[in-house]
C-alpha cells in the first residue's frame, strides 16, 4: 500500500493495481461552491458581514445577471443532510420564478455589486468629462475565434465614430488583452486599452488583488467615463447603468462569426424586447434606473445582520496566507 500526493492538495492511495484519490473535506466543499469566488464576490459579502475571509458560503451564489432562466442552473449540490444547498439570486422576481418551478431553496439577496464598500470623492455624473469605454465580446468565453486584424480595425473605427473627439478606452477580457494584435492596433489608432483583472484564478481562493478587487476596479474604471459601449449584453451593462453612465448597445461591430452564435442572437432578441432604447443609441442611466434596480435586486439588499441570518456559511474552511 502506497500513499502518494496527487496534484498538490489531493492524495492518492495505491493498493496493487488499484488507486484511489482522496480529497480533503475542506477542498471538497470549496469545489462544490467555487462559483462564489468569481470576481471577488465572496470577499465582498464576507467583508460586508464582518466575517473572516476563511468563511465559505455553503450554497450557490448567482454568477452574474442573465436574461435566461434555465432551471438547470438552479440545481445545487446536496449538503451533509442530503438537502439541497441554498441558491442565492439577485432579485425577488427571479427567486419567485424559480420557486414556481419547484425550487424551494432559493432566496434573493441582491447582487454582490450592491455590497461594495462605499467610496467618497467621486464627481457627479453630470460633471464628468465626456469619455467613452467599450466592452467588446469576450473571445475566450462564448467566442472561440479571435477577430482578425481587419475586424479589430473595423471595430475600433466604428467606436471612434461614436466617441468623436472624446477619449476612447477599450476594456478587454484578460485573454484578449494578451493578444498583441489588439494592443498594437489600438495604440496605432490612438486608443487606450485596459483590463480590469482576472475574474477567476487558480486556486480559486487565491488572495491576489486581480480577483478580489475585480468589481472594485471595474467600478473605479466606470466612474472615469461618461458613456459605455457594448457589443453584446453582459453584466457590465447593469453595472455601468448603476454607475450613472449613458449606455448603448451596438451589435453592428460583431463579426460574421460572432453574430451567428446562439448566445448573441438570443441576447439581441432579449435587448430588443426588454431595453429597446439602448439598441443603436445611448440612453441616460436615469431612464433605465427602475429596470436596472430590478435586475440588480436592489429591493433585496440586506443589512449585515440580516445577511448573516439569511446566508449559510462555515468559518475556517478557506485557506488564508
320 domain residue, yes or no: no
Classify residue 43 as exposed, middle or buried by CB count within 10 Å of its CB (0-12, 13-18, 19+): buried
Pair 153, 63 in one domain: no
Pair 279, 305 in one domain: no
Pair 230, 188 in one domain: yes
pLDDT level of residue 239 (50, 70, 90 thresholds): very high
Residue 108 DSSP SS3: strand
Pair 75, 17 in one domain: no
pTM, entire model = 0.91
Contact present, 223 and 243 (Cβ < 8 Å)? yes
Q: Can you give the residue range of the structural domain that contains 9?
A: 1-32
Least confident of 267-271, 278-282, 284-288: 267-271
Query: pLDDT by residue (tens digit) across 73-104?
Result: 889 999 888 899 999 999 999 999 999 999 99
231 domain residue, yes or no: yes
Contact present, 248 and 229 (Cβ < 8 Å)? yes
Query: pLDDT by residue (tens digit) across 153-185?
Result: 999 999 999 999 999 999 999 988 988 999 999
CA 198 to chain centre: 10
Query: pLDDT by residue (tens digit) across 101-145?
Result: 999 999 999 999 999 999 876 666 667 899 999 999 887 655 567
Residue 41 DSSP SS3: helix
Pair 78, 180 in one domain: no
Average pLDDT, the chain: 90
- Would you say residue 221 has pLDDT above 60? yes
Pair 78, 98 in one domain: yes
279 domain residue, yes or no: yes
Pair 48, 75 in one domain: yes
Total count of domains within the chain: 3
Kindly state the percentage of the chain with pLDDT values over 90: 71
> Could you give the dihedral angle defined by the CA atoms of residues 307, 308, 312 and 318, in that order, rounded to the nearest 10 degrees?
110
Kindly state the percentage of the chain with pLDDT values over 70: 90
263 domain residue, yes or no: yes
Pair 87, 72 in one domain: yes
Q: Which carries the bigger pLDDT value, residue 265 or residue 136? A: 136
- Would you say residue 10 has pLDDT above 70? no
205 domain residue, yes or no: yes
Separation of first and last alpha carbons in the chain: 33
For the chain, give the longest Cα–Cα distance.
73
Query: pLDDT by residue (tens digit) across 206-220?
Result: 999 999 999 999 999
Q: Provide the pLDDT for residue 70.
A: 75
Pair 280, 306 in one domain: no
- Would you say residue 52 has pLDDT above 60? yes
Q: Provide the pLDDT for residue 5.
A: 39
Pair 106, 135 in one domain: no
Residue 314 DSSP SS3: strand
| CATH at 159 | 3.40.50
118 domain residue, yes or no: no
Pair 130, 264 in one domain: yes
CA dist 307 and 118 (Å) reads 18
Pair 5, 49 in one domain: no
252 domain residue, yes or no: yes
241 domain residue, yes or no: yes
pLDDT level of residue 68 (50, 70, 90 thresholds): confident
Amino acid at each position: 500500500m502506497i500513499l502518494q500526493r496527487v496534484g498538490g492538495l489531493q492524495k492518492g492511495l495505491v493498493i496493487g493495481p488499484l488507486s484511489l484519490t482522496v480529497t480533503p473535506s475542506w477542498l471538497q466543499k470549496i469545489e462544490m461552491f467555487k462559483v462564489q469566488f468569481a470576481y471577488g464576490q465572496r470577499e465582498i459579502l464576507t467583508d460586508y458581514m464582518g466575517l473572516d475571509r476563511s468563511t465559505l458560503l455553503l450554497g450557490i451564489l448567482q454568477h452574474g445577471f442573465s436574461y435566461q432562466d434555465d432551471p438547470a442552473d438552479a440545481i445545487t449540490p446536496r449538503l451533509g443532510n442530503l438537502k439541497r444547498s441554498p441558491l442565492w439570486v439577485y432579485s425577488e422576481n427571479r427567486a419567485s420564478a424559480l420557486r414556481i418551478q419547484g425550487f424551494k431553496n432559493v432566496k434573493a439577496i441582491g447582487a454582490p455589486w450592491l455590497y461594495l464598500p462605499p467610496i467618497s470623492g467621486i464627481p457627479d455624473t453630470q460633471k464628468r468629462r465626456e469619455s467613452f469605454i467599450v466592452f467588446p465580446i469576450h473571445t475566450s468565453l462564448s467566442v472561440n475565434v479571435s477577430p482578425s486584424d481587419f475586424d479589430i480595425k473595423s471595430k475600433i473605427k466604428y467606436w471612434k465614430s461614436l466617441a468623436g473627439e472624446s477619449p476612447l478606452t477599450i476594456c478587454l477580457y484578460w485573454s484578449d488583452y494578451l493578444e498583441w494584435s489588439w494592443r498594437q492596433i489600438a495604440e496605432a489608432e490612438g486608443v487606450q486599452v485596459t483590463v480590469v483583472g482576472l475574474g477567476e484564478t487558480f486556486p480559486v481562493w487565491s488572495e491576489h488583488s486581480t480577483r478580489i478587487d475585480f468589481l472594485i476596479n471595474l467600478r473605479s474604471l466606470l466612474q472615469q467615463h461618461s458613456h459605455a459601449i457594448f457589443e453584446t449584453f453582459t453584466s457590465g451593462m447593469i453595472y455601468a447603468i448603476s454607475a450613472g453612465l449613458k449606455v448603448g448597445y451596438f451589435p453592428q461591430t460583431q463579426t460574421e462569426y460572432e453574430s451567428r452564435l446562439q448566445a448573441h442572437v438570443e441576447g439581441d432578441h432579449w435587448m430588443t424586447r426588454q431595453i429597446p432604447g439602448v439598441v443603436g443609441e445611448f440612453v441616460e442611466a436615469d431612464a433605465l434606473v427602475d429596470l436596472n434596480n430590478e435586475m440588480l435586486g436592489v429591493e433585496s439588499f440586506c443589512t449585515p445582520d440580516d445577511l448573516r441570518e439569511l446566508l449559510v456559511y462555515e468559518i475556517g474552511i478557506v485557506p488564508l496566507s
